[in-house]
Structure 1
Amino acid sequence: MSEPAQKWLAQAVQRVKDDPDAIHLLFPQAERLGGPAARSALLRAVHGDHPLIRSLYERGDTGERLAILSALPELDLGAAAVGLVEDALRTNDARLVAAALGPYGSAWLDDHSFRQGVLKCVFMSIPLASVADLDRRFDAELAQMLSDYAAELRAAGRPVPHDVMERI
């Protein structure tokens, strides 16, 4: 990280610690001025203020939402941010869907939502290798869902993705 980026980030983190609402002004420009890790640092500076993080997510563009989803495991929010993960799973943006099934989503989504998220990854051609803790969360019901989907693909004369074939 360049010296100007380090300086900007240190000042921005301190500003957010002093006034958490300042994150609304700093977060959109954080990556550009403070580097790739700047948004995570600002999120950590608000000490798990879930309503503030939710507000940033709701107002954010895709890059900002991705930064929030990626930082969730570091923020000590417990299950409070599951709604953000569920929102990301409702999108048609493969980057957000994949990020939603990262370590936080895998840890906190209920079984039904997790299974639906995995199936959405398959529909969107997101490699199952990107799903955090898939081996731990994989169960008979998910295997059946993937098997049923594979049967539909075969019946339609379409290929079954290799990573699905490995799981059924």
Structure 2
Amino acid sequence: MLKSREELDGELGGAARAWLDEALAEAAHDAARTRSGPAADSPYAAPPWELRYAAAGRHCGLEHADSVRCLLLVEARAALPSVTRLYERGTAAERRAVLLTLHRLALGPSALPLVEDALRTNDTRLVAAAVGPYAAAHLDAHGWRHAVLKCLFTEVPVEAVAELARRAQGDTELARMLRDFAAERTAAGRTVPAGLRTVLALTEATAAAAPAPAPAAPTEES
């Protein structure tokens, strides 16, 4: 779970807090700069706070790295070039932090290629991070269904899928895909993930729970 600045201040030592103060100040300075120049838009121009992003685990501890990186991205109001650069050049941990923060940035659907890239991997850390609130808000129906199946295939708990119940509601195509997946697993002598039944129940239960239409009001002629 990502921690707030206040929570981090209560857990970090003095040197780590000082480092974080400096890193966030650099990020805030970059956010205040005019971004219209060609250097700011270049995918190769990395502001100083991006170097801090990579060093977060070393200075604040691996257990706090995701939270620190999230704070840096938000404080910098990271635009797509920065987010893409940090993802493409980063380690798996640095990529995960990008994915976990996407919904807190004003990117619209422009960062979907990063989510789609993560979903093509078999790294369960990246897959779990990719199906968070940003994917729930921006993945189209086709992409979202395949993201759910990817979780089942890689044994990522379906509880990681943000807004699962809402998006699964009444999705008959997802239900069909789940049944096909279960049939393939059974035919191959492999176990069916318990999460599959959970998602299938959501598609069926929500559809069945839809209220019946109210009877028409009687007319004067009836």
TM-score by length of 2: 0.71
In the alignment, structure 1 residue 142 sits paired with structure 2 residue 177: no
Contact 2:186–2:192 under 8 Å retained in 1: yes
Distance 1:38 1:167, change over 3 A: closer
Contact 2:182–2:192 under 8 Å retained in 1: yes
Matches within 5 A, 1:1-168: 1-19=12-30, 21-35=47-61, 36=64, 37-138=67-168, 139-168=171-200
C-alpha displacement at 1:93, in angstroms?
0.6
Write out per-residue CA displacement over residues 6-44 of structure 1, whole angstroms, 9 at most, x where no aligned residue: 111111111233246112321110132135121111111
Write out per-residue CA displacement over residues 118-147 of structure 1, whole angstroms, 9 at most, x where no aligned residue: 111111111111111111111111111011
SS of 2:52 mapped into structure 1 = helix
Which structure has the greater CA radius of gyration?
2
Structure 2: where are the runs of 5+ without partners?
A: 1-11, 32-46, 201-222
Structure 1: where are the runs of 5+ without partners?
A: none
Distance 1:166 1:41, change over 3 A: closer
Write out per-residue CA displacement over residues 101-122 of structure 1, whole angstroms, 9 at most, x where no aligned residue: 0111111111111111111111
The structure richer in helix per residue is 1
User: What is the CA RMSD across the aligned residues, in angstroms?
Assistant: 1.5
TM-score by length of 1: 0.92
Identity %: 46
